[in-house]
Structure formats: C-alpha cells, structure tokens
Amino acid sequence: MNKYVVGVDLGGTKVEACLLDKDRNLFGRKRVSSEASKSIDHVVQNIANIIHEVSEGKDFAAVGMGTPGTYVPSEDRLYGAPHTPIYEDPGLVQGLQKRLDVPLVVDNDANCLALAEFFASCEGKYRYVMAVILGTGVGCGLILDNKLYRGSKGGAGEIGHTSIDINGRVCECGLKGCVEAYLSGPSHSRRYLELSSKKLDLREIYALFEKGDPIAHRLFEESCRIMGVFFANTINALDLEAVILGGGVSNIPLWYEKVPPLMKQCFFGIPRKTVPIIKARLGDSAGVFGAAYLALRELGIMDF
C-alpha cells in the first residue's frame, strides 16, 4: 500500500498543496491563485489541478484540506468564511471529492496550523495547547490531551470573537469588543489611526514604538494588556500548558516579553507556573502540513 498523502491549504487568495510520505517527509509543494472571484466550480477545479500537479504521478492514499470557517457535511457547505463568501456556496467539498479517487478530509485552517505547530514544538512536552493565529483576523486551534479539539459541530476555538468589553469596538462580525477588533493586524492600524490620524501598518507602528513614539507606546501597552487577559481567560477555562502564537502579528517581539507577566496576573485558582508563549516556527507552511496530517490520520498513521 502506498503511503503518500496530499495536504491542501485553501486560503482567501491562494491554494497551496504539498505531498508528504508516511514519515512526514516533504516531496513537493506548489502554490497557485485560488481565483475565488470566479465561481465555486472554478475554485474546485483549481484545487483538483494542484493536487494532480503536486503528486507528480505518485499514488497518494488520501487528501487533507484546511479551509476558512467550519465545514458542515450535511449541507456540504462552509460557515464562517466572511473574507471569501464564495467558499460558503454549497458544493466545494463534495465537488472536490467527486474529482478524487481517495478519501478527502476537511478541517478548519486554524486547526491545521495548530496541528502542524503542535507537532513542531510541543509534541511530547505539552498535552494542552492553544495555537492562536493573529493576522487579518484572529483564529485559534486547540489541542487538548494530545487530541485536536473540534467541539460538537467542528466550530470550537473561535476565541477571536470572545469579547473583552461589552461596550467595546465593533468587530467585523458585528459583535462588540471582540478580541479581533483590537489585536488583528488591521485593527492595530485602525486604532493607531484613531489616536494619531496617521494610517500605518503594524510594522510601521512598531518601528515608531522602537523610536519612542508615545502614541505607539500607548497602543502596544493596551494590546499587551488585552492579550494577557485574552490568553488568561482561555488558559483558566481549559487549563492549558502553552500558547503558540502565529500569523503576521506574531512577529512583534514585544508580546513574548510583556504578555506573560500580565497574563499571570489573571490566572485563577490552582497554582500555575508561567505558561509559555511559543512563537510559531513554520511560518506560512504550517497550514498545508497540518492539512496533510489530517490525511495521515485518516490512514491510521498519525493519532491526534
């Protein structure tokens, strides 16, 4: 029996695929535009093509795919993909399955990233971990007792939309005070604009912070406090041992120094040592590797 698998990471603008063997060795990787503006059938065909190309004629036994939102099999559609609403049209997953001769397993992209990063830095060391992805939005994947935790319908981990202020900033999801409305990359830009009337991206704001800009200082101080409360809330709720931080916003060095003591102030109950905040290692490769791990689990080669 062959033991190659294909992983697919379906993003808003691109589709990436990789070919792994049963020992998680990488044999090929490709990335193309998803062309999500065209139609769902077009996207499905693009995914089928990239799977075919990346496998380079090798027989693969399963495909795993990470997507935005949560897939509901009974309706064959995704929910919760507001940045690419076309992916919420029915037919994406079944349409792709019809083009494949092997099983297709689908999960949320943040879950795939969490899996890959968990196996890269926490396997054998921590059993209860959350991976938070701070980028355009705020996503999260949970590994509890060494298992990927999906909840009753596969929608677990949407802690980017937990509120830290019921009268707070309006989030893109329509709720008030969501963590995402403060900590995503675009939210940092918006908050800085309101304080300074200057429109800058996160990297530019951080450069000003390093030069002693008082407004940037105020902004990052608030972000650190919010992040401390946000992480501590989830650590208290789930009794976690470590936090993995990924996505573009995770590149700010300040978080790793300032947030752990603020987080510790909010721990409740049982004595806890400092819970480490671990920087994600795999960069934007994580999603596609985690997707391939879904396929390896489907074949009984990995267990999580």
Interface with Zn ion (CB under 5 A), residue from 72, 175, 254, 262? 175
Helices (H) and strands (E) in the chain, counts: 9, 12
Q: What's the rounded Cα separation, in Å, for the pair 181 and 193? A: 14
Q: How far is the CB of 138 from Zn ion (least distance, A)?
A: 8
Interface with Zn ion (CB under 5 A), residue from 51, 96, 178, 183? 178
Binding segment for Zn ion among 4-12, 33-41, 176-184, 209-217 (CB under 5 A)? 176-184
Q: What's the rounded Cα separation, in Å, for the pair 109 and 195? A: 33
Q: How far is the CB of 216 from Zn ion (least distance, A)?
A: 24
User: Mask: binding to Zn ion, 134-173, rule CB under 5 A, as x and -?
Assistant: ---------------------------x---------x-x
Binding segment for Zn ion among 17-25, 121-129, 178-186, 264-272 (CB under 5 A)? 178-186
DSSP state of 154: S
**Would you count residue 297 as binding Zn ion (CB under 5 A)?**
no
How large is the angle between the packed helices 185-196 and 202-210, nearest 10 degrees?
Answer: 60
Task: Name every residue whose Cβ is closer than 8 Å to that of residue 236 and which is 6 or more positions away in sequence.
Answer: 266, 267, 268, 269
Residue 17 or 159: the one with the smaller Cβ distance to Zn ion is 159
Q: How far is the CB of 178 from Zn ion (least distance, A)?
A: 3
Task: Name every residue whose Cβ is closer than 8 Å to that of residue 239 and which is 6 or more positions away in sequence.
Answer: 128, 270
Residues that bind Zn ion (CB under 5 A): 161, 171, 173, 175, 178
